[in-house]
Structure 1
Amino acid sequence: MSSVLEIATVHGPAHVHLDEPDAAPRGLLVLGHGAGGGVEAPDLLGARAAALAHGLAVARVLQPYRVAGRKAPPPAAQLDEAWAAVVGHLTASHPGVPRVHGGRSSGARVACRGAATLDPALRPVAVLALAFPLLAPARKDGTRSDRRPEIDAVTVPVLAVSGARDRFGIPGETSTREVVVLAGDHALKARGPVRDAVGGWLERTVTAVRP
């Protein structure tokens, strides 16, 4: 069953594309989109397919600035506040199931920041980081901001999926972070390989929390 929810945030409404499995969900995967993109990105659809196949509900979150038709994202604090409002609503509507937060590119950054800073009751059991951008685009002087601290601050299990030619860099493995490198670039357009990479990890993650 699929539906689109409108959820109020302090920065305007967010739209949540919610897909529910046929049976009661074993968990909930919440996904954010890239900076100028939307919830139909191939890697997000691949992750959705994997989650539904393993009995999870999936919520793909369209941030308020994209609902309003803008492509340029607002400051990170506004993205995080809207994300927190949506996560709060979804936590209330899906009580008692493990929640995995994630997204692609900018959405992965938001999910990582939230995993470290959200109210403890709203934090996820794991994070799915698709095309996490370790480095920002180059400034005029050629320097690039390092986003590594955002993903390094996550203490729950992380799966990072990146394209081998991602110009923004690829996260490294740690004791809590698995890394899968697929053919392709930052766009991660190969939906099937993303689905295959995500499915087994989601199954292990949810089973570890809720057998």
Structure 2
Amino acid sequence: MSVLTVETPLGPSRLTVHPAAEPRAVLVLGHGAGGGIGAFDLVALAVELPRRGIAVVLHEQPWRVAGKRIAVRPPMLDEGWRPALDVVLALFPGLSLWVGGRSAGARVACRCFDERQAGVVCLAFPLHPPGKPEASRIAELAGVAGPVLVVQGERDPFGSPDDVRTAAEQAGGAQPQIVAVPGVHSFNRGAVPRVVAAVAGFLT
């Protein structure tokens, strides 16, 4: 494991690289607005995927590196994310680059998706604020011009798996692969094997 600092317009962000012995792909994951890269599902993926030939890079936003407790606005999150992708592409030339994250990190990956990336892994995509289904963010998910995996808690107040599926169908276009796991927005710890299996299967 190695830790790299990446300069961004908002100050330094940080990459924690979990290499694979013979990598065939790399997955960059961002954290949510209320936590960091210590979220247990992110940690589990960083441990398990390299054993399956997928290097994992965990990205910490500049606001988090600076020790702040409240996330910045979405456009600023995007500014903190894009330079990190350039660094990862340079670190792993020739490998398929997959991106994603937990909650707000998933939204960032969707908004910033471009032709250099193979697809997006969304862990607990926050379809809407709790209790406000009219404030849908499905356009971010539907705007990805590539394959998308959504791993969603069965009782997620930000949108259940069925909510995400219905919204995606109504939005039209390519449909995401949706995997339901036990829990709410943070998942249950017992769901970790299903999360790892879903992501590993999606990337192969």
Q: Given the two structures, how large is their TM-score scaled by the length of structure 1?
A: 0.85
Offset of 1:144 from its aligned partner?
A: 5.2
**Structure 2 residue aligned with 1:177:** 176
**Structure 2 residue aligned with 1:188:** 187
Q: What's the secondary structure of 1:201's corresponding residue?
A: helix
Is the counterpart of residue 133 in structure 1 residue 119 in structure 2? no
The answer to which structure, 1 or 2, has the higher relative contact order (CA under 8 A, 6+ apart) is 1
Distance 1:143 1:179 in 2: 19
CA contact (8 A) 2:13 2:65 kept: yes
Offset of 1:136 from its aligned partner?
A: 2.0
Offset of 1:46 from its aligned partner?
A: 2.9
**Structure 1 residue aligned with 2:92:** 94
Structure 2's unaligned 5+ residue stretches are: none
User: Which stretches of structure 1, 4 residues or longer, exceed 3 Å deviation after superposition?
Assistant: 173-176
Distance 1:126 1:50 in 2: 19
**Number of aligned residues:** 193
Matches within 5 A, 1:12-91: 12-23=11-22, 25-91=23-89
2:139 to 149, 158, 161: 149
Distance 1:8 1:59 in 2: 16
Residue 37 to residue 106, structure 1, CA distance change in 2 (3 Å): same
Percent same amino acid at aligned positions? 39
Q: Given the two structures, how large is their TM-score scaled by the length of structure 2?
A: 0.88
Distance 2:17 2:10 in 1: 21
Distance 2:107 2:56 in 1: 19
Structure 1's unaligned 5+ residue stretches are: 204-211
Distance 1:49 1:167 in 2: 28
